[in-house]
Amino acid sequence: MMTIDEIMTTDPITLAPDAALNEVGKLMLEHRIRHVPIVDGGNKLLGLVTQRDLLAAADDNSTQPTSSVMRTELYTISIEDDMRAAGLLMQQHKIGSLPVMDGDKLVGIITDSDYVSFAINLLEQLDETNPLDNDDFDELGDVGGFKPDDQEF
């Protein structure tokens, strides 16, 4: 089973809790990201600001600190965990990212976009190793009651 460190973003872009909200917005635009972990000087995870959090605070003063809107009750995953565990956690809790931890230190982040990229890569590998097109159905015949010419769905 593949581990988290094989697809996670290492060295994620982070901010301190006293950084202004407008800094979060600038980072998100500049780096095309939707999640910014908030850490202390020792890279200990304190919270997370998402694009949704930023949009919800749009009417507030943009110079207020990130600590005023960051989420502090977070799901995280260990760098030693496998991708299936992370994917299930994200799916069950309907979250778009998981900070990746090594002990109490932030070492990466895995997002739903990382999973999409991984899935595309797997599908491309499958296509290269096992291409299946309509001509293959002719050789297989009627498999499971389905033929390529069947028009009923």
pLDDT band at 5 (very low <50, low <70, confident <90, very high): confident
Stretch 40-62: mean pLDDT, rounded? 88
pLDDT at 60: 64
CA-to-CA distance for 100 and 89, rounded, in angstroms? 13
Taking a C-beta distance cutoff of 8 angstroms, is the pair 4, 48 a contact?
no
* Residue 19 belongs to a domain: yes
Stretch 98-104: mean pLDDT, rounded? 95
| Owning domain of residue 14 | 4-122
* Residue 127 belongs to a domain: no
* Residue 106 belongs to a domain: yes
Given phi > 0 = left and psi -120 to 50 = alpha, else beta, which region is 147? beta
pLDDT band at 26 (very low <50, low <70, confident <90, very high): very high
Tell me if the pTM is above 0.85. Answer: no
pLDDT band at 149 (very low <50, low <70, confident <90, very high): low
* Residue 151 belongs to a domain: no
Average pLDDT, the chain: 85
Question: Domain of 67: which CATH number?
Answer: 3.10.580.10
Overall domain count for the chain: 1
> Of the ranges 54-63, 94-103, 117-126, which is most confident?
94-103
Res. 130: pLDDT tops 90: no
CA-to-CA distance for 43 and 7, rounded, in angstroms? 21
CB atoms within 10 A of CB 95: 17
